Amino acid sequence: MTTVEETTQTPVPEGHVRLTIDGREVIAPKGELIIRTAEREGIEIPRFCDHPLLDPAAACRQCLVEVEMNGRAMPKPQPACAITISDGMVVHTQHGSEVARKAQEGVMELLLINHPLDCPICDKGGECPLQNQALRHGRAESRFRDQKRTFTKPIEVSKQVLLDRERCVLCQRCTRFSAEIAGDPFIELLERGAHQQIGTAKTADAEGWGAVTPQGQPYQSYFSGNAIQICPVGALTSAAYRFRSRPFDLVSAPSVCEHCSSGCAERTDFRRGKVMRKLAGEDPEVNEEWICDKGRFAFRYVTADDRITRPLVRENGKLREASWTEALRIAADRLAEARDNGGVGVLPGGRLTVEDAYAYAKFARISLHTNDIDFRARPHSAEELDFLTTNVLGTTPEDGVTFTGLERANTVLCVALEPEEEAPAVFLRLRKAARKAGTKVVHIGQFSTPAVDKTFGTLLACIPGEETNAVLGLREHAADVYAQLGEGGVILLGERAAEVPGLLSTVAGLARETGAQLAWIPRRAGERGALEAGALPTLLPGGRRVDDTEARAEVAAAWGLEALPELAGKDASAILTAAANGKLHGLVLGGVDPDDLPNPELAREALARAEFVVSLELRRTAVTEYADVVLPVAAAVEKSGTYLNWEGRPRPFDIAIENTGILSDCRVLDTLAVEMDTDLFTQTPQAALADLDRLGTVEPPVAQPGWTIEFEGEGPPKSPLRHGKARLATWHRLLDNGSLQDNEPHLAQTARETVVKLSTATAQGIGVGAGDPVVVSTHQGRIELPAEIADLPDGVVWLPANSGPSTVRASLGVGHGDLVDVRAGGGE
């Protein structure tokens, strides 16, 4: 056959090769797979198992093409998805080669032999690669006349993921995704020959072909929904979406996930004003093509029964529905009164878009004349405020840590951050970095969490609350890590760092000292945006400091005011204390749950004591009970806006569900401000953003030296279990009691088991074994859970912060690093 003439050739750049595909000369990067090169050339080769982010498997054989090497044809058609291109290679796809065309047709015919062709009742029908490619590359008729293989359908791979085995083409995308990307190899190819099927250890006992046995690990993964999405047929379906809709009845809108600070790209599919499902969107810079199950499945909170759709006002102690006009008038009058009598504090919460956060920031200053505003509806500290101002504010993907930057880092040190639970997209990137680029991942935490294993990581275990000492001890006790931080290292900090005195400053010091890059990864989607928007007591929008006269004047001028309040405001705790003491008369709250606040009791006292409470909320919450006026606001899918993810990357999204009549926070505040004779110019998110952009940002303040807090003693101290006391480690799990996960029973059943974790010695100390009940208590309350033995330091217990009965703040009134009482449970 033919090779290309040697004469009229363009030179091949370094690292590239020259080959011919369907008679077309192509120069492409060495090592690329044929299927990828062809695709770039616009030559489409059918495929099922191939996925650009998975390692090649050549499992389905649908991509067979003819290949010639060194002028000689390879004896059989070859899988284009598994063969890398080389110099002088000649490829004939189905477009030019009868052999390839027939091979593909034959493979398709074989795949369809056992396929039920039940497209009319299959979730995938209408968006199915098998359907599409069978029409395009298959025979019009099957020659198979016998009975098809059947299976019991469906089987539960997990509570969320169902499998109809007869539809499966055994491409192994699901198993490869789980093993490679997520690191959860709980779903596998089982059996052989005609019985070959996907399953879990639970479905493996194949007497009667995959009868479900009561034993065995199920498919437990925070990322299981991706397997459903990349299944090229309708074999994997989600319990939540199965039989609910056809793709051609859905309207799709690109969107951004509202659940964590990663800001994953999503696609929201809705029908008649209701979201039917969410899919992962593609963004190579952020989430590639993956999202976590929370981002995918947790959206029915929007249509919960307790959703507030009309304003409520309190009359004779009872809330009643009211018109917007009436509710806004009452709110405006009473807020003005409270403002003039003692002041109003603003707690906008951590889940806002930049636009909404900006509206709160502006509303506080202009309408309420105060800097008493703090988005941090969680444990926080003054040290954290300094840290955010000097180390986080103003960083962007251009100058800071990014998702892709993690892949280039030689070492990533996670401090007080549990990436898989708190920012799953970050976890996936860390795993990829470790797996593909050899990045070393080090976790300063309390035990070997699944994420430690799955990032091939090292755990530096410390007593909770002693993370500062652990960081200070790095140089001495983990000299290799310390050294590597200086050679292209990255440090990631989580939200609970604020609970450990000295930790944020110490880590900032470590970063300066070693030259490592530093990033703060909050848990909630709105925190980073609220920081930039100035929803903090010491910061105005655009990174300006309240105590900077010039900056204040600049903002005042831009806002058309004479002056702005000069005094630095109170932080969230101080606002609540002041309200509880009767010093602040009013409170304005966004989506804040008192039980998330550092002191839930104090928060309730403050709400009860305040003369006037305005709550902007989606649904009835604990705050509603105290609110005097409740103003309904839009959920993420009902509004447009921009999240700023932890990288500082704007994640704009458009409205998905239109015409709900529900307004976003910025619009509600704008109208309320007008009632108070002030103008915010935040009628729409677009207007709000334009206003903020006009204001511009200033250079973030330079970190001041000398902030490193020196600690006495070397290395973490021992904290033996004495007199039944232990130190508490706690953080939030991805799937827990969070209200944005309400109404998702299938998702909830895939949550990790709610247990108390402790070391063997600690367990022995109180006379319990694995599975026995353990009581963790404080003067305020108790939590009783079964024990799980893990590699925690002795004298430490771990509880999930807000899972099932384990509601740490609400029940115990303590947090990470605090002392608790521990004893054997049961028998009461």
Partner 1 sequence: MTHAAQETFGEETVREAAEIIARYPQSRSALLPMLHLVQSVQGFVSPEGMRFCAEQLELSEAEVAAVATFYTMYKRSPCGQHLVSVCTNTLCAAMGGDAIYAKLREKLGLGERLEGNEETAGEPGEPGSLTLEHAECLAACDLAPVLQVDYEYFDKQTPESAAELVDRLRAGEAPAPSRGPGLRGFRSAERQLAGFFDGEAALESVVDGSSQAVETLRGAQIAAEHGWVAPEAEDVPIPEVEEGAK
Judged by the rule CB under 6 A, the positions of this chain that interact with ligand FES are 47-50, 58-63, 79, 81
Q: 3-state class of 750 per DSSP?
A: coil
Give the nearer residue to ligand FES in terms of CB position, either 171 or 758: 171
Q: Does 276 bind ligand SF4 (CB under 6 A)?
A: no
Give the nearer residue to ligand SF4 in terms of CB position, either 153 or 310: 153
Q: Does 108 bind ligand SF4 (CB under 6 A)?
A: no
Residues 345, 678 contacting (CB under 8 angstroms): no
Within 196-255, which residues bind partner 1 (CB under 8 A)? 199-201, 204-207, 213, 215-217, 219
- The terminus-to-terminus CA distance of the chain in angstroms comes to 85
Residue partners of 589: CB distance under 8 A and separation at least 6: 346, 347, 348, 349, 613, 614, 615, 616, 617, 623, 627
Give the nearer residue to ligand FES in terms of CB position, either 81 or 785: 81
Q: 3-state class of 225 per DSSP?
A: helix
43, 63, 107, 233: which one contacts ligand SF4 (CB under 6 A)? Answer: 233
Give the nearer residue to ligand FES in terms of CB position, either 174 or 256: 174
83, 111, 170, 785: which one contacts ligand SF4 (CB under 6 A)? Answer: 170
Burial class (CB in 10 A: 0-12, 13-18, 19+), 119: middle
* Shortest distance in whole angstroms from residue 227 CB to partner 1: 13
Give the nearer residue to ligand SF4 in terms of CB position, either 171 or 655: 171
* Shortest distance in whole angstroms from residue 606 CB to ligand SF4: 30
Structure tokens at 647: 């990288």
Structure tokens at 352: 């806002």
Within 416-435, which residues bind partner 1 (CB under 8 A)? 435
16, 29, 53, 56: which one contacts partner 1 (CB under 8 A)? Answer: 56
Give the nearer residue to partner 1 in terms of CB position, either 146 or 207: 207
E strands, 306-363, where? 312-315, 318-321, 344-347
Q: Does 526 bind ligand SF4 (CB under 6 A)?
A: no
* Shortest distance in whole angstroms from residue 139 CB to ligand FES: 19
* Shortest distance in whole angstroms from residue 232 CB to ligand SF4: 6
Distance from C-alpha of 648 to C-alpha of 285, rounded to nearest angstrom: 13
Q: Does 55 bind partner 1 (CB under 8 A)?
A: yes
Measured in degrees and rounded to the nearest 5, phi and psi for residue 11 equal: -65, 150
Hey, how many other C-beta atoms are within 10 angstroms of the C-beta on 318?
8
Distance from C-alpha of 681 to C-alpha of 669, rounded to nearest angstrom: 10
Give the nearer residue to ligand SF4 in terms of CB position, either 222 or 482: 222
* Shortest distance in whole angstroms from residue 415 CB to partner 1: 26
Stretch touching ligand SF4 by CB under 6 A, among 169-177, 208-216, 332-340, 495-503: 169-177
Give the nearer residue to ligand SF4 in terms of CB position, either 36 or 165: 165
170 binds, among partner 1, ligand SF4, ligand FES, none (CB under 5 to 8 A by kind): ligand SF4
Q: Report DSSP letters for 333-348, one per residue.
A: HHHHHHHHHT-EEEE-
* Shortest distance in whole angstroms from residue 210 CB to ligand SF4: 13
Distance from C-alpha of 725 to C-alpha of 777, rounded to nearest angstrom: 10
48, 151, 177, 186: which one contacts partner 1 (CB under 8 A)? Answer: 186
Q: Is the dihedral of CA 294, 299, 304, 309 positive or negative?
A: positive
Distance from C-alpha of 624 to C-alpha of 618, rounded to nearest angstrom: 10
61 binds, among partner 1, ligand SF4, ligand FES, none (CB under 5 to 8 A by kind): ligand FES
* Shortest distance in whole angstroms from residue 259 CB to ligand SF4: 3
Give the nearer residue to ligand FES in terms of CB position, either 50 or 647: 50
21, 81, 90, 187: which one contacts partner 1 (CB under 8 A)? Answer: 187
Measured in degrees and rounded to the nearest 5, phi and psi for residue 510 equal: -60, -40
Backbone region of residue 661 per phi and psi (left: phi > 0; alpha: psi in -120 to 50; beta: other values): left
* Shortest distance in whole angstroms from residue 70 CB to partner 1: 5
3-state per-residue secondary structure call for 517-544 = EEEEECCCCCHHHHHHHCCECCEEHHHE
Q: Report DSSP letters for 99-132, one per residue.
A: HHHHHHHHHHHHHHHT----GGG-TTTTS-HHHH
Give the nearer residue to ligand SF4 in terms of CB position, either 473 or 522: 522
381: Cα separation from own chain's centroid: 24
Residues facing 404 on adjacent strands: none
Residue partners of 295: CB distance under 8 A and separation at least 6: 257, 259, 260, 264, 266, 278, 280, 424
50 binds, among ligand SF4, partner 1, ligand FES, none (CB under 5 to 8 A by kind): ligand FES
Q: Does 185 bind partner 1 (CB under 8 A)?
A: yes
174 binds, among ligand FES, ligand SF4, partner 1, none (CB under 5 to 8 A by kind): ligand SF4
* Shortest distance in whole angstroms from residue 636 CB to partner 1: 35
Give the nearer residue to ligand SF4 in terms of CB position, either 343 or 522: 522
79 binds, among ligand FES, partner 1, ligand SF4, none (CB under 5 to 8 A by kind): ligand FES
Give the nearer residue to partner 1 in terms of CB position, either 191 or 658: 191
The residue count for binding ligand SF4 (CB under 6 A) is: 27
Alpha helices in 31-179 (DSSP H): 34-40, 98-113, 129-137, 173-176
Q: Does 181 bind ligand SF4 (CB under 6 A)?
A: no
Closest CA to 216 of 206, 226, 227: 206
List the strands of the sheet with 344-347, edge to edge.
318-321, 312-315, 629-632, 612-617, 586-589, 344-347
84 binds, among ligand FES, partner 1, ligand SF4, none (CB under 5 to 8 A by kind): partner 1
Give the nearer residue to ligand SF4 in terms of CB position, either 170 or 275: 170
207 binds, among ligand SF4, ligand FES, partner 1, none (CB under 5 to 8 A by kind): partner 1
186 binds, among ligand FES, partner 1, ligand SF4, none (CB under 5 to 8 A by kind): partner 1
Measured in degrees and rounded to the nearest 5, phi and psi for residue 345 equal: -105, 150
Residue partners of 220: CB distance under 8 A and separation at least 6: 158, 184, 186, 750, 752
787 binds, among ligand SF4, partner 1, ligand FES, none (CB under 5 to 8 A by kind): none
Q: Which residue has the tokens 């009791």?
A: 601
Q: 3-state class of 273 per DSSP?
A: coil
Within 109-128, which residues bind partner 1 (CB under 8 A)? none
Q: Does 67 bind partner 1 (CB under 8 A)?
A: yes
Residues 277, 241 contacting (CB under 8 angstroms): yes
The residue count for binding partner 1 (CB under 8 A) is: 39
Within 435-494, which residues bind partner 1 (CB under 8 A)? 435-436
Q: Is the dihedral of CA 815, 819, 820, 822 positive or negative?
A: positive
- In the chain, count of helices (H) and strands (E)? 25, 37
46, 183, 210, 295: which one contacts ligand SF4 (CB under 6 A)? Answer: 295
* Shortest distance in whole angstroms from residue 191 CB to ligand FES: 20
Closest CA to 503 of 381, 409, 401, 647: 381
45, 64, 80, 83: which one contacts partner 1 (CB under 8 A)? Answer: 83
Distance from C-alpha of 606 to C-alpha of 585, rounded to nearest angstrom: 10
12, 52, 72, 333: which one contacts partner 1 (CB under 8 A)? Answer: 72
Residues 628, 344 contacting (CB under 8 angstroms): no
The residues of the shown chain that bind ligand SF4, judged by CB under 6 A, are: 168-174, 198, 231-233, 235-236, 257, 259-260, 262-264, 287, 291-292, 294-295, 423-425
The residues of the shown chain that bind partner 1, judged by CB under 8 A, are: 31, 55-56, 67, 69-70, 72, 74-75, 78, 83-84, 86, 184-192, 199-201, 204-207, 213, 215-217, 219, 435-436, 770-771, 789
